[in-house]
Chain A
Amino acid sequence: MFVDLNVPWPEAGQNAPELKKTLEMLQSFGYDFVAYNHVVPNAKTSFKPNPIKIDSAQTNTKPSTETLSPLISNAQLDAQPLRQLTRLTIIADDQNSNYQLNNTNPVLNSYDILAIRPTTERLFQQACQTFDVDIISLDMGSRLPFYMKGPTVNLAISRGIHFEICYAPAIRDQTARKHLITNAAALIRLTKGKNVIITSEAQRAMEVRGPYDVINLGSIFSLNQALAKNCITINLTSNVATPQQHDDKHIKASCPQKL
């Protein structure tokens, strides 16, 4: 079961047709799960209610033939509908503010997956040590303002937190590609390939790549094939498809390797 845990949710109606194309592309390439990602710029803006509407019509129908480019195979037309999750990413840039990352926050509970993007070293440490999140996402397409340290990263792994590598910036832009390879290789050296997820963060449909192409990309981040496969697959014996039933859904939904 291939999963893409970062499909950006369009802000206030913009780019909505592109999202549809992206979904069709993901489906035709053989992905089974997607997570819509809603990004909140900082913690000071009080959390707004979850804007993501899971469109059942969009997934239960087979990909519409008009918009899809003609190159999809028979097998893919018979594919299962995409299963959808919701994800919130908070960009943390101020270490003094209270991020209210606890189980009682109703806004956070309305999402399946909670991710944080720390922008300073201090916040990165805090995220690894104390924040109750599922994913730590770093902007790997640009130069990181700090070094990731082994003990900090190990602590996050022992708490079951996953680190995210988004590949779309590397496809968009050549400088970003360089930085992404640097950062991803550094992360994989520290984690030894455990608790790493690879996602797209594709703003356009043409930035999506097939799951096996992504696994192969892992090989240039110095991952081996088996570890790279773990980074984008999900084990279906879990209950991720119906995460609402679980109190600790955050953790369940985001641990593709452990479930």
Chain B
Amino acid sequence: MVRFKNRYLLFEITWEDGKILETLTDRIVNSNIKESIETNFGDYGAGIIAGSLSVKYFSPYTSVGILRVARDHFHMVWAAITFITSIQKRPCVVRVVHVAGTIKSVQNVAIKRGKEVLFQLNKKGLLKEIRTQQLSQQVETDVMALDL
């Protein structure tokens, strides 16, 4: 019996307005991705990934997220992500920064990436020092708590 294999995509959203919207959740991102798959790959595409696709983690502060999808179809999901032009009417670009086969490696990259982004925000004065430390602590605990 062969194990069911997944791919974990670490993605990052770049917003045109550059703002942080705390109300954005992984569910909203998930439904946007599914919508894009449906428009680009139709009912077949939506059906074939419905069992395996899920956004496991998304942080509105860093705009970094992790999604899991069956290995056989990750090219399709990635293409659908690339075709996303806006989420909740805010223009954006979604970019895949890392592709991993195991949960361990995607966690490591996600933490590193999240901290980098927070550091940048702090440097630009968009986040206060204390808040940055809190959030980067939170990124670490949230990502490590993932049981995928």
- The chain A residues found within 8 Å of chain B, CB to CB, are 25, 29, 65, 68-74, 170-171, 174, 177, 205-206, 208-210, 212-214, 216-217, 219-220
Contacts and interface: CB of A to CB of B under 8 A. Distances in A.
Range of interface residues on chain B? 20 to 34
Contacts of A210: 93, 95-96
A220 B82 CA distance: 12
A67 B85 CA distance: 19
Q: Which 9 A-B pairs have the closest CB atoms?
A: A69-B18, A210-B95, A213-B82, A219-B75, A216-B78, A220-B79, A206-B91, A73-B116, A71-B14
B78 A213 contact: yes
Interface in B36-90: 39-40, 62-63, 75-76, 78-79, 81-83, 85
Contacts of A73: 113, 116-117, 120
B16 A205 contact: yes
A71 B79 contact: no
B13 A71 contact: yes
A212 B96 contact: yes
Interface of B: 12-18, 39-40, 62-63, 75-76, 78-79, 81-83, 85, 91-93, 95-96, 113, 116-117, 119-121, 123-124, 126
A216 B75 contact: yes
A217 to B, nearest CB: 6
Given A220-B75, A220-B76, A177 B124 contact: no
Contacts of B76: 220
B93 A206 contact: yes
Interface of A is mostly: helix
B142 to A, nearest CB: 18
A29 B78 CA distance: 16
Contact of A216 (B63, B91, B96, B119): B96
If over half of B's interface residues share one DSSP class (helix, strand or loop), that class is named, otherwise mixed; here it is: mixed
A48 B100 CA distance: 51
B95 A29 contact: yes
A70 B126 CA distance: 9
Contacts of A74: 116, 119-120
B52 to A, nearest CB: 18
A217 B95 contact: no
A71 B15 contact: yes
A202 to B, nearest CB: 11
B12 A71 contact: yes
A206 B78 CA distance: 17
B16 A206 contact: yes
Given A73-B117, A74-B116, A171 B14 contact: no
Contacts of A69: 14-18
Nearest to A220: B79
Nearest to B113: A73
A209 B82 contact: yes
Contacts of A212: 96
